[in-house]
Copies of this chain bind each other. A is one copy, B any other.
């Protein structure tokens, strides 16, 4: 590793971590969470991003070559399609196969867990996933023990190691050749989202809250330790970078306030606290609007999260959480797609003026940056923040 790149890496990392610790670095750190935009910018089709592991990495490399940020956005695909093909996974549709080559992935929402599965899930969720869920969601694994099912396990496991390994090697390369840290290490979920996303789906979980609330609570309790372990294991024990927590069903107004207090928050809080006890900070990626819950979120231990603002009232977030938690966000994705560079620039300046003065602030878009963002607007975000965001 050249000492110049290592120096740049340490500078960026220090700037980022200082803000995460609610301190004031030399400049406002820029961390963009980017998915499909990288493909467009690098000139790849979305199919290439989902299918070709090398182009997937190259797309992110192109971004850090051209934009001066503080973290590498990481490879744009969330899922490597060949892994899904190998097992016949049904719940995602990808560009180039089920969809045209530049269409964003689609999730096929179904009740992959049935109401009658709760007891088996609660008793031994790991075994239930193997025995009951995978045969339902992997066409090639429909008949466990058959030749094809055995091949699906071999290929699925191998593909996961390959994908994880390629991304780990890329992170090393971004550090050594470009001086960039990644923005996150590992991920976990809110227990309610684990249950409510892939397993019971929105309609199913909403029915369960009325019809079988005790089962839901028991399942959520079981999930706490699993979700803590998942965050730890996927981060490889990294305690420097935050652990990504994409939040779904907890946004207002999916649940009413009583439901949120009863079903969403208690187990999520335990997961975040459990990780924090092990030194792992959560990137509380609050998609949608979380304004009504800010006081509850403020109960968390100081610095245990970085609170990411999408459509949450950033003024209230700053008043209630600021000083104790780093805040990130919230340049609207609609502005990045349909606005003008001057408007983006003005928005960033307002964010810096109003929320970054005391440190503990990271510049980012409101949500993950996808195919529709304009290049000139991303450039405006980055350049304005670099010029104007100096302490």
A residues neighboring B (CB under 8 Å): 127, 130-131, 144-147, 149-151, 153-158, 160-162, 165
Contacts and interface: CB of A to CB of B under 8 A. Distances in A.
A49 B157 CA distance: 25
A131 B150 CA distance: 9
Nearest to A162: B161
Contact of A157 (B145, B146, B155): B155
A156 to B, nearest CB: 8
How many identical subunits does the complex contain? Answer: 2
Chain A contact surface mostly: helix
A71 B151 CA distance: 37
Nearest to A126: B147
Contacts of A150: 130, 144, 153
A144 B162 CA distance: 25
Given A158-B160, A162-B161, A130 B147 contact: yes
Contact of A144 (B130, B131, B145, B160): B145
Contacts of A154: 153-154, 156-157
A158 B144 CA distance: 19
Contacts of A127: 147
Nearest to A149: B145
Contacts of A144: 145, 150
Contacts of A161: 157-158, 161-162, 165
A131 B158 contact: no
A146 B162 CA distance: 25
A153 B147 contact: no
Nearest to A156: B154
A158 B154 CA distance: 8
A23 to B, nearest CB: 36
A144 B147 CA distance: 9
A321 to B, nearest CB: 40
A150 B149 CA distance: 9
A127 B149 CA distance: 12
